[in-house]
């Protein structure tokens, strides 16, 4: 048995077999083949297999995310049948008598270079598609299943060097019991996704993981951050008992369903859910969320090759609002940039993307992206209780600019005879120190604040949330962050506005009492944490607590 030590991201135990997530990176060797015709037959067979996979993926995506989101698989199928691409592979096999894998990887390199040198961002983005279809072909040639069409019935423990948020999105949730990454940090969006999905995950276990064989039996302990490879029978028995204990503890929390979030002394607070898309609405409802406190709308833009248009977005927002049946739904406008990179946005490469062109900065400089999202949101507003939230605000001017754009779109919709709700709330994330410090001036311009503690901590402490190497300097309870939250709370309340916390700190039960004392009105957390938080709140009595605790 080997024990790997990493950082637990979501508490839970998974016992199963490892399944590696590979994204290309194949080491393709060149060798000469004696029979070029036989090699061509291998190529054609692999191509047929790849096409079948893409057809399956297309069907599945249509069911899961709708026609327009599924388009990418149709595009990939067409690219696989492209004459120029195929001729290039076939010629190399015939003329140079090289193996099919090598011919495919050379075609991939040549075509992707051509696409990435184009000016048009749409064409540039095709380079990634070329690599993607070529990797699929190489996998088919090697007789390996593709990354996302695993046929095993058993849910597996997904392993990877690291996973981008878009890759985590691709995982078939019914077939994933846990995930482990060699790198990665506990505050990354991938870690947040694991919590939202409610599956055990351990990050930063180190390179050893990458040398382990696919299919190895393993146990993931998301509580301690340990991963046991080929566990011995004693460990297996101990962890099976721990898994059962955890299952019982989670089942016990069910008794809190339908109860109020109220302390023993009568202080009330709202608990809402953080979601990434429609897929988590069920979990929010099942865990008795009072509403949605953060819908990270940028996830609609990930893992695809073109912008979701106004209509597609409208349908998603409308469905969330309708599903929540009149409960408040806070939808954040897109927060692309930093770790959430999307090639078709055509953004310049930056030295320091977390401080670069991200979130509201993209929206305010690219109205062709911002306006369709705002139109979709305002159109959807009549289907429920909508609140629109803007990320990464640092100045009063930005807020005034946003307000002007919103009024302009409302007038436009009015002229077109399209209804929108006059009751929609508008708020901002407090996730930069600047926003917290000038929260007295921002409060009159908004209906609410929601504190993004993930970024607020990163920017206040000058600690990159993506970098596991500096984790030892990271103090999530740092006084500076807590003071900024207290300052924003006072300013919100002075102006009669509500304030919530939607960063990961909101779920930290060591701070629940502190937040209650500050007067925070709402905590928005991953659905799996709602009942645990309710348990904590209902067992808190602010009359008994130590003085001066803030």
Binding residues for ligand PEP, rule: CB under 6 A, are 192, 294, 296, 335, 431, 452-455, 502-503
At closest approach, how far in Å is the CB of 218 from ligand PEP?
A: 29
Query: With the CA atoms of 333, 303, 196 and 380 taken in that order, what torsion angle do they form, in degrees rounded to the nearest 10?
Result: 40
DSSP 224-267: TTEEEES--HHHHHHHHHHHHHHHHHHHHHGGGTT---B-TT--
For residues 7 and 77, which CB has a smaller minimum distance to ligand PEP in the complex?
7
Selected range binding Mg ion among 56-64, 350-358, 430-438, 530-538, rule: CB under 5 A: 430-438
Look up 478 and say whether it is catalytic: no
Q: Which of 76, 159, 363, 502 is catalytic?
A: 502
Written as six digits, the tokens of 279 are 């897929």
For residues 280 and 431, which CB has a smaller minimum distance to Mg ion in the complex?
431
Written as six digits, the tokens of 47 are 């191509």
Q: If contact means CB under 5 to 8 A according to the sort of partner, which of Mg ion, ligand PEP, none does residue 273 touch?
A: none
For residues 112 and 333, which CB has a smaller minimum distance to ligand PEP in the complex?
333
Burial class, 87, CB count within 10 angstroms (exposed 0-12 / middle 13-18 / buried 19+): exposed
Q: If contact means CB under 5 to 8 A according to the sort of partner, which of ligand PEP, Mg ion, none does residue 280 touch?
A: none
Phi, psi for 142 (deg, rounded to 5):
-85, 0
For residues 12 and 452, which CB has a smaller minimum distance to Mg ion in the complex?
452
At closest approach, how far in Å is the CB of 507 from ligand PEP?
A: 11
Three-state secondary structure call for residue 352: coil
CA geometry: angle at 142 spanning 138 and 146, to 5°? 65
At closest approach, how far in Å is the CB of 495 from ligand PEP?
A: 22
Look up 502 and say whether it is catalytic: yes
Q: Which residues make Cβ contacts (< 8 Å) with residue 110, sequence separation at least 6?
A: 88
For residues 101 and 335, which CB has a smaller minimum distance to Mg ion in the complex?
335
Asked if residue 437 lies in contact with residue 484, where contact means CB atoms within 8 angstroms, the answer is: yes
Written as six digits, the tokens of 285 are 């409802």
DSSP code, position 479:
H
What's the rounded Cα separation, in Å, for the pair 358 and 77?
Answer: 32
At closest approach, how far in Å is the CB of 287 from ligand PEP?
A: 18
At closest approach, how far in Å is the CB of 429 from ligand PEP?
A: 7
The CB-side HSE value for 318 (13 A sphere, CA atoms) comes to 12
The H-or-E segment that residue 10 falls in is strand 7-10
Question: Residues 449-468 vs Mg ion: string with x where CB under 5 A?
Answer: ---x--x-------------
Among the listed residues 227, 301, 282, 291, the one whose alpha carbon sits nearest the alpha carbon of residue 7? 227
Q: If contact means CB under 5 to 8 A according to the sort of partner, which of ligand PEP, Mg ion, none does residue 502 touch?
A: ligand PEP
What's the rounded Cα separation, in Å, for the pair 413 and 407?
Answer: 10
Q: If contact means CB under 5 to 8 A according to the sort of partner, which of Mg ion, ligand PEP, none does residue 204 touch?
A: none
For residues 445 and 505, which CB has a smaller minimum distance to ligand PEP in the complex?
505
At closest approach, how far in Å is the CB of 39 from Mg ion?
A: 51
Beta bridge partners of 523: 271, 501
Q: If contact means CB under 5 to 8 A according to the sort of partner, which of ligand PEP, Mg ion, none does residue 464 touch?
A: none
For residues 231 and 391, which CB has a smaller minimum distance to ligand PEP in the complex?
391
Burial class, 175, CB count within 10 angstroms (exposed 0-12 / middle 13-18 / buried 19+): middle
Q: Is 431 in the site for Mg ion (CB under 5 A)?
A: yes
For residues 373 and 458, which CB has a smaller minimum distance to Mg ion in the complex?
458
Q: Which of 76, 159, 189, 363 is catalytic?
A: 189
What's the rounded Cα separation, in Å, for the pair 373 and 298?
Answer: 10
At closest approach, how far in Å is the CB of 388 from ligand PEP?
A: 15
Q: Which residue has the tokens 């979990």?
A: 283
CA 59 to chain centre: 23
Q: If contact means CB under 5 to 8 A according to the sort of partner, which of ligand PEP, Mg ion, none does residue 453 touch?
A: ligand PEP
Among the listed residues 110, 71, 77, the one whose alpha carbon sits nearest the alpha carbon of residue 92? 110
DSSP code, position 2:
E
At closest approach, how far in Å is the CB of 348 from ligand PEP?
A: 21
At closest approach, how far in Å is the CB of 359 from Mg ion?
A: 8
Asked if residue 124 lies in contact with residue 105, where contact means CB atoms within 8 angstroms, the answer is: no
What's the rounded Cα separation, in Å, for the pair 510 and 507?
Answer: 9
Asked if residue 504 lies in contact with residue 474, where contact means CB atoms within 8 angstroms, the answer is: no
For residues 296 and 497, which CB has a smaller minimum distance to ligand PEP in the complex?
296
Beta bridge partners of 331: 295, 388
Q: Which residues make Cβ contacts (< 8 Å) with residue 233, sequence separation at least 6?
A: none
Q: Which residues bind Mg ion (CB under 5 A)?
A: 431, 452, 455
Q: Which residues belong to the active site?
A: 189, 502
């Amino acid at each position: 048995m080997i024990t790997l030590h990493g950082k637990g991201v979501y508490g839970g135990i998974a016992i199963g077999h490892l399944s590696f997530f590979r994204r290309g990176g194949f080491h393709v060797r060149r060798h000469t083949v004696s029979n070029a015709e036989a090699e061509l037959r291998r190529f054609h067979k692999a191509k047929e297999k790849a096409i079948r996979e893409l057809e399956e993926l297309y069907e599945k995506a249509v069911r899961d995310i709708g026609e327009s989101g599924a388009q990418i698989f149709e595009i990939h199928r067409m690219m696989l049948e492209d004459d120029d691409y195929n001729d290039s592979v076939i010629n190399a096999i015939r003329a140079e008598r090289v193996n099919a894998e090598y011919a495919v990887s050379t075609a991939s390199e040549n075509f992707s270079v051509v696409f990435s040198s184009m000016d048009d961002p749409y064409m540039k983005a095709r380079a990634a598609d070329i690599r993607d279809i070529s990797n699929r072909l190489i996998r088919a040639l090697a007789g390996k299943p593709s990354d996302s069409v695993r046929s095993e019935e058993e849910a597996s423990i997904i392993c990877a060097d690291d996973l981008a948020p878009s890759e985590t999105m691709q995982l078939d949730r019914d077939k994933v019991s846990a995930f482990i990454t060699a790198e990665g940090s506990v505050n990354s969006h991938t870690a947040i996704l694991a919590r939202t999905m409610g599956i055990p995950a351990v990050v930063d276990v180190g390179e050893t993981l990458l040398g382990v064989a696919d299919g190895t039996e393993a146990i993931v302990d998301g509580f301690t951050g340990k991963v046991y490879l080929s566990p011995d029978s004693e460990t297996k028995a101990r962890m099976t008992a721990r898994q059962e204990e955890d299952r019982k503890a989670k089942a016990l929390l069910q008794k809190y369903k339908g109860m109020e979030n109220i302390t023993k002394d009568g202080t009330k607070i709202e608990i809402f859910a953080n979601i990434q898309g429609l897929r988590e609405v069920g979990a929010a409802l099942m865990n008795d969320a009072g509403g949605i406190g953060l819908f990270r709308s940028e996830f609609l833009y990930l893992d695809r090759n073109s912008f979701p248009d106004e209509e597609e977005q409208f349908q998603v927002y409308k469905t969330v609002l309708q599903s929540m049946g009149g409960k408040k739904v806070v939808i954040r406008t897109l927060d692309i940039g930093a770790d959430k990179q999307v090639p078709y946005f055509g953004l310049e490469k930056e030295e320091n993307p977390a401080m670069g062109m991200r979130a509201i900065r993209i929206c305010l400089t690219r109205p062709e992206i911002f306006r369709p999202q705002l139109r979709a949101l305002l159109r959807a507003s009549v289907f429920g209780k909508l609140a629109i939230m803007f990320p990464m605000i640092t100045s009063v001017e930005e807020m005034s600019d946003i307000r002007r754009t919103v009024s302009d779109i409302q007038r436009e919709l009015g002229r077109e005879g399209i209804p929108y709700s006059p009751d929609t709330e508008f708020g901002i994330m407090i996730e930069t120190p600047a926003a917290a410090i000038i929260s007295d001036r921002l409060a009159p311009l908004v209906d609410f604040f929601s504190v993004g503690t993930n970024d607020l901590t990163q920017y206040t402490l000058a600690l990159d949330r993506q970098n596991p190497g500096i984790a030892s300097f990271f103090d999530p309870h740092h006084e500076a962050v807590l003071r900024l939250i207290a300052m924003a709370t006072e300013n919100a309340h002075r102006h009669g506005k509500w304030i919530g916390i939607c960063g990961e700190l909101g779920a930290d039960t060591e701070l629940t009492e502190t937040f209650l004392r500050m007067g925070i009105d709402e905590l928005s957390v991953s659905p799996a944490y709602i009942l645990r938080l309710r348990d904590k709140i209902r067992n808190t009595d602010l009359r008994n607590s130590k003085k001066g605790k803030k």
